[in-house]
Amino acid sequence: MEAIEELAVQPCTSSLYLRPFRLSYRQNGTKKFWDFMRTHDSVSILIFNTSRQCFVVVKQFRPAVYMCEMERHHPQVFQNQDKESLPSLENPLPAVVGVTYELCAGIVDKPGLSLEEIACEEVLEECGYRVSIADLRRITSYRSGVGVTGSRQTLFYAEVNDQMRTSGGGGQPEEGELIEVVEIPLEESMKFAYDETFPKTMGVIFSFMWFHNNIAPKLPKK
């Protein structure tokens, strides 16, 4: 996962996933504009393994996170953005700075499938557990990246056990996915959520808090 080589940055002129636009409008009599990006909506799933009393999350390299760290250490990386080619990355940082812990998740890009069906597919592909729609509990939906994308993510909860695991997960290599499945013990989960040495998404923090408020009080006492 961390064997990242031959890094190069170049302008993105077309993409299957990102579409940049500029909206011009008048608000309370003042003329304004705002640049934004259209992206796919998504689903995420908080997975709790009841056999071992742990959360199942994923760990992967995120280029956007990595490049944020690169710019912080090497501000010249994104200078002269109008040029056809940007500076080569001569002193790259260790790839670990771009590795994050996240909920199992996926984009909504299959019109024939419901959000629940997409969520079930993601759980199987990324984490190796076979769950049904009946195993899912919808927690809520929310807007992410409201200043840039405004896309909607729908969050589900699923309980699994060891017998439901049919593979090691890891995503789909043919789509370029390289995912590591990580288990976070329940008793360590809130410490993990607030430990900044483990880069993570807000979805991890929020869903762990939701679990402790809504599910944990109903668990059998040891």
**Residue 136 in this model has a pLDDT that exceeds 80:** yes
Q: What percent of the chain has pLDDT over 90?
A: 76
* Beta-strand pair 136-144/151-160: antiparallel
Quote the pTM value: 0.92
Mean per-residue pLDDT over the chain, rounded: 92
- Sign of the C-alpha dihedral computed for residues 34, 35, 40 and 44 taken in this order: negative
Q: What is the DSSP string of 192-217?
A: HHH-TTS-B-HHHHHHHHHHHHHTGG
Q: What is the structure's pLDDT at 221?
A: 76
Per residue in 16-49, pLDDT tens?
Answer: 899 999 999 999 999 999 999 999 999 999 999 9
Q: What is the structure's pLDDT at 77?
A: 74
Q: What is the structure's pLDDT at 222?
A: 64
Q: What is the structure's pLDDT at 114?
A: 98
Please tell me the number of Cα atoms within 13 Å of 99 on its side-chain side. 18
**Residue 150 in this model has a pLDDT that exceeds 80:** yes
Per residue in 40-91, pLDDT tens?
Answer: 999 999 999 999 999 999 999 999 999 999 888 888 777 765 555 555 667 7
Q: What is the structure's pLDDT at 11?
A: 80
SS3 label, residue 9: coil
Closest by CA to 56, choosing from 123, 135, 146, 136, is: 123
Domains and CATH numbers, the chain: 22-78+91-214 (3.90.79.10)
Q: What is the structure's pLDDT at 7?
A: 82
Q: How far apart are CA 159 and CA 137, in angstroms?
A: 9
Q: What is the structure's pLDDT at 1?
A: 65
**Residue 204 in this model has a pLDDT that exceeds 90:** yes
Please tell me the number of Cα atoms within 13 Å of 177 on its side-chain side. 18
Mean predicted confidence (pLDDT) in 200-211: 98
**Residue 9 in this model has a pLDDT that exceeds 90:** no
Q: How far apart are CA 171 and CA 173, in angstroms?
A: 6
Q: How far apart are CA 127 and CA 161, in angstroms?
A: 12
Amino acid (1-letter code) at residue 9: V
